Structure 1
């Protein structure tokens, strides 16, 4: 099991840049490089503690487990036009990320104000 985790870690070390920056696209003399925030994670488990007898209500020891997941949020693109490069944000993705963050910050501020009023 330990070798599996090491193998997974070695295989995903180079994924970071490819997750963050997509392949460049050229359209009518304009070069576009998409940019995203990406993250991923893996977990594992094992067992083998044989404490039960397997009779009514006592299960013999066993185990296994594993999982993984990831996400990617497109935040914009670097656009090259006429020799100049600029970043153009993806407003929809930034709003989707910032609205929950703003909600958490405002709830925290509300709690802080209540504490300070006492």
Structure 2
């Protein structure tokens, strides 16, 4: 199990900014660099009991990639961010819900009792 875990750690050691920004591409005369939110996690465990007594080991992992948009360099040579509106709206949904719940709590506290 420790060898498998070590190989996983070595595999994900260099994951970072290079995964969030893609390679520059030329599309319709415009240079674009894709931008994404990249997250992943993994874990594992084992038991000190022998396999006959119900002990064992296991592991798992998963990841998520949200394409946020692209940095585009137009004919003027200026870079600007062009968001993927669908993903940005989905990513903001939890924030909007949290603000709504907070406002409801504040209004209930401030409102005079009858």
For normalisation by structure 1, the TM-score amounts to 0.79
Q: Which residue of 2 aligns with 1:14?
A: 14
SS at match of 1:69: strand
Deviates more, 1:3-12 or 1:62-71: 3-12
Q: Which residue of 2 aligns with 1:74?
A: 67
Distance, in Å, in 1 between the alignment partners of 2:68 and 2:40 is 17
Which of 76, 80, 89 is matched with 2:83 structurally? 89
Superposition deviation, residue 27 in structure 1: 1.9
Answer yes or no: is the 8 Å Cα contact 1:48–1:61 preserved in 2: no
Q: Which residue of 1 aligns with 2:92?
A: 98
Distance, in Å, in 1 between the alignment partners of 2:79 and 2:97 is 34
Answer yes or no: is the 8 Å Cα contact 1:19–1:72 preserved in 2: no
SS at match of 2:57: coil
Distance, in Å, in 2 between the alignment partners of 1:113 and 1:6 is 52
Superposition deviation, residue 65 in structure 1: 1.6
Superposition deviation, residue 79 in structure 1: 0.2
Unaligned runs of 5+ in 2: none
For normalisation by structure 2, the TM-score amounts to 0.81
Number of residue pairs the alignment of both structures matches: 110
Unaligned runs of 5+ in 1: 55-59
Superposition deviation, residue 67 in structure 1: 0.6
**Match runs of 1:48-59 below 5 Å:** 48-49=48-49
SS at match of 1:108: helix
Alpha-carbon RMSD: 2.1
Distance, in Å, in 2 between the alignment partners of 1:106 and 1:86 is 31
Distance, in Å, in 2 between the alignment partners of 1:26 and 1:7 is 36
